[in-house]
Structure 1
Amino acid sequence: MKLTVWGAAQQVTGSMHLLEVNNYKILIDCGLDYENDVNLLENINFPFLPSEIDLVVLTHAHIDHSGNLPTLVRLGFEGQILCTPPTADLTQLLLADSVNIFLGKLKKKPFKKRSKKYHHDNQQQQPLYLQKHVMDTTDRMVTIGFNKPFQIREDIEIQFIPTGHLLGAAAVHFKVTEAGQTKTIAFTGDIGRKNYPVLINPETLPETDFLVTESTYGGRLHTAIESIEETLIKVIKETCINQPGRLIIPAFSVGRTQSLVYTLNKIFSKNLLPPVPIFVDSPMAIMATDIYRKHQRYVNDDAKSFYQKNGDEFEFANLSYVKELKESKEISNHFEPCIIISSAGMLEGGRIQDHLFYNIQNFYATILFIGYCAKNTLGYRLLRGDAVVRLRGRDLSVFATIKKTDQLSGHADHKGIMEYIKAVPKEGLKKIFLVHGEQESMLALQSALEDDGYKAVIPEKGMIFEL
């Protein structure tokens, strides 16, 4: 058995690992690499021939794990893609949105006339893939439920174990046989948090010889002073009840918005606050919410119980879903206190920019960040405390209140990752590979693991391990 780490090596994006068993090649995840110094089109340069890959196993739908699958298919991959049912539906939605983003960026770039000196100019004008390639990709998906051993071949068995990071997110556990010897290896994908709104808790992995784990929050702990309900109640009171203000919440359309809406539903259904109009202004969030409804059996027991007692956990009296752009613009004329949930979460594009443009200089507005904002994004600059930001070609002073909470972060923190790893029987765990994290986080996690007697390594991209 041979493992090659081809992505998310000492960085967060671009998850991609190659597992070879008896000359059978399995790719675990195929995510887009969109680090700051990476040209998006570099994702076309696979370090192997896509046609030589026999199988892809997808841990979950997020673009840094699934986003380069259509490129793989476009360049010759002809095998199946194994994943859970919610992952298949959410992946199709996210990949289709990626195409729209590619084409949108293309329209903004001036066309470069092709010349001998710049013979790649025409290629640079092309998107990474098109909707046709997305459809070709989703046609290859074969879905498997949680905790159901699936025999790929006589010598390879896999099992999806829930991780709670996103609807349908799973760690994948391999049991392989080589030369009469059985070995096991598991890939965590991304590890979620316990007691997270809507999502099930991460489940313990079976006995494992080798573990490839994410390390996003290595060395960092989430805030534990109050619950997300308490935080939201406090901010809503300050912004929309004690004064006639607006609460604007940038949120990723898939995952974060559904957990936020469910939490707000619980708050208002308990009459913990007087009704405040809430607008979810994101067509993609509406489609993602329908997928959550479709896969009701994959949500946690709390959400199922709420559904039995109160009905649809993503629908309540003072909540409106905004589909059309005209409706979105009309929200700007809604002068009563309200809550606006819109994407993108880092403020890089999407309808959220319109709401920001009209409210960034509003003393009665609060912008509440509920997720991570990468460096060089507009969200990052606001969280940094910039007094002036540029929107629609104008420099605007920041008069709105800027707040943040990490209580809706979908990743386990340092403590959560350590608990997840320690739940695996230690006596059989030979080596841990740390991926999907910044170097500082990886080093902190590696140090903690080694202090507890584990052998943990931080692979570089392209490193090969004979297991």
Structure 2
Amino acid sequence: MKVAFHGAARAVTGSKHLITLNNGTQILLDCGLFQGMGDITERLNESFGFDPRKVTYLILSHAHIDHCGLLPRLVAEGFSGSIFCTPATRDLAEILLLDSAKIQMQDAEYANRKMKTVEDQEMPLYTDKDVQQTLRQFKTVPYEQNFQIEEHISVRFTDAGHIVGSAAVHLQLEENGKQTRITFSGDVGRYRDLLLKSPQTFPQADYIIMESTYGDSLHIDLDPIETMLGKIITQTCLEKKGKVVIPAFSVGRTQELLYALNALELKGVLPNIPYYVDSPLSLEATEVLKNHPDVYNNGVKEVLKVDRDIFGFKGLRFIESVDESKALNNDPQPCVIISSSGMAEGGRVRHHIRNNISDPKNTILMVGYASPGSLAGRLIAGQKRVWLFGQDYDVLAEVQSIKSMSAHGDYEDLLQFLSIQNPKKVKRVFLVHGEYDVQQKFAQRIVNAGFEKVSIPEYHQEFEL
């Protein structure tokens, strides 16, 4: 049995981990899009490093695009097997993949306007037809159910607490009378998440494929999230008469922001200004979360007893059309604009940043992970000039960050996730989904916790299990 790492290897995005059994059966864990990796991003997304036609099954940990965003291309290139995931992941994946296909098709159409010959025409990574075929291959499995894929392969999902439907994947494989237990953490959430349940415990594993995004960080803020949000909005919108622009992922982060703002309204301290969510996808994702209330933690369930709509409050408006989005840039009144994408690498938020970044009255507020090379990452790092839409802009707006607003666990959360394992029985931990310098630091923390063998795979590196 072998495992090869074809994505999120010494990098955060592009999740693809391929297990090959001695009889040729191939199980692919996730098939994510590479994002925010500069000039090499497009090339990475165009080549898998393996033959999609030879993949037997796919198991999807959750619906974030860096974990599921290349599924339609995999299908278009010949993968015909089943895609196993939780019911909520299937619901989210549908809206996210259709949105991704729309972007791929629009980008290709825009690029081709400048091409003079048919030979130079760009093709999208995949189309909406590819997405529809992909969705037909989905099969859902509830949490905590041992599901027999075939005679010698079973899978179990446990709640990873990351986003709605997210799961840690636990495989039990039998070869030549010998059982091998492999756990893939997916993305591990927080044990004190604002909305979701904590990650569940899971059975003993022989091998663990472990995410490490925040393997050297602690999400510590002095005040609760809603308190910090209230202060920033008050200072920017009421005192300076400016705007707060928040790049936020449509799934997870936006709903957490809405929940925190709703909490301020319940306390009677929400500033009386307009609040815009400029992302049609966010509205759909919010509805998916509402349709799966079983993922809420006990604190949210208590709030639901007194407030039926935990994501709605006075002054909130979802923006859907492009014209409405553009109109926000011509409106001088103080407001809060929540818009995707979270790393500010695409979407409508880049327009809002361009129109507000050079005014000291305004605030750009980061509320989630941002790779160092992304626009959000560069702003967090303190870059004073940024390139947007073919032009340099001075960063005069205030840039702030709420560290504790992350769907990813910090190193204490990650170690707590691993703590229920007997480290002496774990043959090897593979660290994925992290920047290499971060992974090296986290690897030492894991070794200090008693795990003897920790590897940080390179891109396309294969290991014998």
Of 449, 460, 463 in structure 1, the residue corresponding to residue 461 of structure 2 is 463
Q: In the alignment, what sits opposite 1:202?
A: 199
Determine the C-alpha separation between the residues in 1 that align with 2:29 and 2:426: 20
Determine the C-alpha separation between the residues in 2 that align with 1:312 and 1:106: 39
Of 192, 199, 219 in structure 1, the residue corresponding to residue 189 of structure 2 is 192
Q: In the alignment, what sits opposite 2:28?
A: 27
Matched, 1:8 2:14: no
The answer to whether the Cα contact below 8 Å between 1:204 and 1:424 also exists between their aligned partners in 2 is no
Q: In the alignment, what sits opposite 1:135?
A: 132
Determine the C-alpha separation between the residues in 1 that align with 2:56 and 2:192: 37
The equivalences for 1:375-394 within 5 A come to 375-394=372-391
Q: SS of the residue aligned with 2:7?
A: coil
Determine the C-alpha separation between the residues in 1 that align with 2:10 and 2:347: 29
The offset of 1:84, in angstroms, is 0.7
Q: SS of the residue aligned with 2:421?
A: coil
Determine the C-alpha separation between the residues in 2 that align with 1:213 and 1:459: 11
| Structure 1 residues 182-228: Cα deviation after superposition (integer angstroms, max 9, x where no partner) | 22110011111112122221112211111110111122222242221
Aligned partner letter, 1:161: T
The equivalences for 1:29-68 within 5 A come to 29-34=30-35, 35-68=37-70
Q: Residues 234 and 21 (structure 1 numbering): CA distance in 2 closer, same or farther, change over 3 Å?
A: same
Determine the C-alpha separation between the residues in 1 that align with 2:457 and 2:350: 38
The equivalences for 1:160-199 within 5 A come to 160-199=157-196
Bigger shift: residues 238-247 or 186-195: 238-247
Q: In the alignment, what sits opposite 1:449?
A: 446
| Structure 1 residues 58-78: Cα deviation after superposition (integer angstroms, max 9, x where no partner) | 001111111111111111111
Q: Residues 359 and 44 (structure 1 numbering): CA distance in 2 closer, same or farther, change over 3 Å?
A: closer
Determine the C-alpha separation between the residues in 2 that align with 1:97 and 1:47: 25
The answer to whether the Cα contact below 8 Å between 2:234 and 2:271 also exists between their aligned partners in 1 is no
Q: TM-score, normalised by structure 2?
A: 0.93
Determine the C-alpha separation between the residues in 2 that align with 1:244 and 1:33: 38
Determine the C-alpha separation between the residues in 2 that align with 1:181 and 1:47: 29
Q: Which ranges in structure 1 are unaligned for 5 or more consecutive residues?
A: none
| Structure 1 residues 252-303: Cα deviation after superposition (integer angstroms, max 9, x where no partner) | 1121101111111111111134433211111111111111112222232322
Q: How high is the sequence identity, in percent, across the aligned residues? A: 40
Q: SS of the residue aligned with 1:234?
A: helix
Q: In the alignment, what sits opposite 1:104?
A: 106
The answer to whether the Cα contact below 8 Å between 2:233 and 2:271 also exists between their aligned partners in 1 is no
What's the Cα RMSD here?
Answer: 2.2
Determine the C-alpha separation between the residues in 2 that align with 1:132 and 1:126: 14
Q: Residues 426 and 365 (structure 1 numbering): CA distance in 2 closer, same or farther, change over 3 Å?
A: same
Determine the C-alpha separation between the residues in 1 that align with 2:205 and 2:233: 46
The offset of 1:391, in angstroms, is 4.0
Determine the C-alpha separation between the residues in 2 that align with 1:264 and 1:233: 8
The answer to whether the Cα contact below 8 Å between 1:268 and 1:275 also exists between their aligned partners in 2 is no
Q: Residues 463 and 402 (structure 1 numbering): CA distance in 2 closer, same or farther, change over 3 Å?
A: closer
Q: SS of the residue aligned with 1:109?
A: helix
Determine the C-alpha separation between the residues in 1 that align with 2:464 and 2:381: 44
The offset of 1:356, in angstroms, is 2.5
Q: Residues 49 and 348 (structure 1 numbering): CA distance in 2 closer, same or farther, change over 3 Å?
A: closer
The answer to whether the Cα contact below 8 Å between 2:221 and 2:402 also exists between their aligned partners in 1 is no
Q: Which ranges in structure 2 are unaligned for 5 or more consecutive residues?
A: none
Q: Tell me how many residue pairs correspond in the alignment.
A: 461
Q: SS of the residue aligned with 2:430?
A: strand
Determine the C-alpha separation between the residues in 1 that align with 2:456 and 2:382: 34
Determine the C-alpha separation between the residues in 2 that align with 1:242 and 1:436: 41
Q: Residues 10 and 240 (structure 1 numbering): CA distance in 2 closer, same or farther, change over 3 Å?
A: same
Of 405, 412, 436 in structure 2, the residue corresponding to residue 439 of structure 1 is 436
| Structure 1 residues 345-368: Cα deviation after superposition (integer angstroms, max 9, x where no partner) | 233332223333332233321111
Q: Residues 354 and 435 (structure 1 numbering): CA distance in 2 closer, same or farther, change over 3 Å?
A: closer
Determine the C-alpha separation between the residues in 1 that align with 2:352 and 2:50: 44
Determine the C-alpha separation between the residues in 2 that align with 1:130 and 1:433: 34
The offset of 1:311, in angstroms, is 0.6
The offset of 1:330, in angstroms, is 3.3
The answer to whether the Cα contact below 8 Å between 1:265 and 1:314 also exists between their aligned partners in 2 is yes
Q: Residues 53 and 387 (structure 1 numbering): CA distance in 2 closer, same or farther, change over 3 Å?
A: closer
Determine the C-alpha separation between the residues in 2 that align with 1:377 and 1:5: 23
Of 256, 260, 263 in structure 1, the residue corresponding to residue 260 of structure 2 is 263
Q: SS of the residue aligned with 1:168?
A: coil
The offset of 1:421, in angstroms, is 1.1
Determine the C-alpha separation between the residues in 1 that align with 2:73 and 2:270: 48
Determine the C-alpha separation between the residues in 2 that align with 1:264 and 1:66: 30
| Structure 1 residues 315-339: Cα deviation after superposition (integer angstroms, max 9, x where no partner) | 1222111122233233345444321
